[in-house]
């Protein structure tokens, strides 16, 4: 758990550092980044246990959207049924496809990639969460993937 926490923190600071280094940091970006970083400790690093996602799916909850950010080849080899697929590099470009009125459960093969996406989505006002363990965690819990 400590490693995942460190990974999320490094991802956020990496994102902010990239923006500042690239000259893209402005007052609005700083306000959004500050708001996000101050909310992290009280929100358990925005980690959602895979079991919570499984329970939501089994109960048919329609207030949770699974966002699979893996590359197309991995998604096509097997994904969680009903997952919205937007590869990580296309998140900003296709952000309008992601509903703002639902909880967004971000899955990938690596939690650090999910953390990148969650930090960006959070800065744009989305209720996004890193699913702890991602797609491999889903499979490890005995849940099926579809092609």
pLDDT tens per residue, range 61-109: 899 999 999 999 999 999 999 999 999 999 999 999 999 999 999 999 9
Q: How many domains does the chain fold into?
A: 1
- Rounded CA-CA distance 131/129 in Å is 6
Q: What is the CATH number of the domain that holds 76?
A: 3.40.250.10
Instruction: Please check whether residue 51 is in contact with residue 137, taking contact to mean a CB–CB distance below 8 angstroms.
Output: no
Answering whether pTM is above 0.75, one says: yes
Q: How many alpha carbons fall within 13 Å on the CB side of residue 17?
A: 7
User: DSSP for 8-52?
Assistant: HHHHHHHHHHHHHHTT---HHHHHHHHHHHHHTGGGGGGEEEHHH
pLDDT of residue 133: 95
Mean pLDDT (whole number) for 141-147: 96
Any domain includes 147: no
Position 130 in a domain: yes
Q: 39-70: buried (b, 16+ CB within 10 Å) or exposed (e) per residue?
A: ebeeeebbbbebebbbebbeeeeeebbbbbbb
- Is 125 among the residues known to form the active site? no
Residue corresponding to tokens 């459960």: 105
Domain that holds residue 44: 2-140
Q: Is residue 30 a part of any domain in this protein?
A: yes
Select which of 108, 117, 121, 135 is catalytic. 108
| Residue 146, domain member (yes or no) | no
Flag whether 145 is in a domain: no
- Does residue 96 sit within a domain? yes
Query: What's the distance, CA 119 to chain centroid?
Result: 7
Q: How sure is the predictor about 15, in pLDDT bands with cuts at 50, 70 and 90?
A: low
- Do residues 89 and 120 make contact, with C-beta atoms less than 8 angstroms apart? no
Band (38; pLDDT cuts 50, 70, 90)? confident
Cβ(65)–Cβ(103) below 8 Å? yes
* Alpha carbon distances (Å) from 130 to 21, 26, 29, 64, 123: 26, 27, 22, 13, 14
């Amino acid at each position: 758990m400590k490693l995942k926490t460190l990974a999320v923190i490094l991802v956020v600071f990496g994102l902010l550092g990239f923006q500042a280094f690239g000259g893209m940091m402005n007052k609005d970006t700083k306000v959004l980044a500050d708001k996000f970083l101050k909310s992290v400790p009280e929100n358990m690093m925005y980690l959602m246990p895979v079991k919570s996602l499984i329970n939501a799916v089994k109960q048919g909850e329609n207030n949770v959207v699974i966002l699979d950010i893996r590359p197309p080849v991995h998604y096509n080899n097997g994904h969680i049924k009903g997952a919205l697929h937007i590869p990580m590099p296309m998140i900003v470009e296709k952000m309008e496809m992601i509903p703002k009125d639902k909880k967004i459960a971000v899955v990938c093969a690596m939690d650090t990639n999910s953390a990148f996406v969650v930090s960006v989505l959070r800065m744009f006002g989305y209720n996004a969460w890193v699913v702890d363990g991602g797609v491999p965690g889903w499979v490890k819990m005995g849940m099926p993937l579809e092609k």
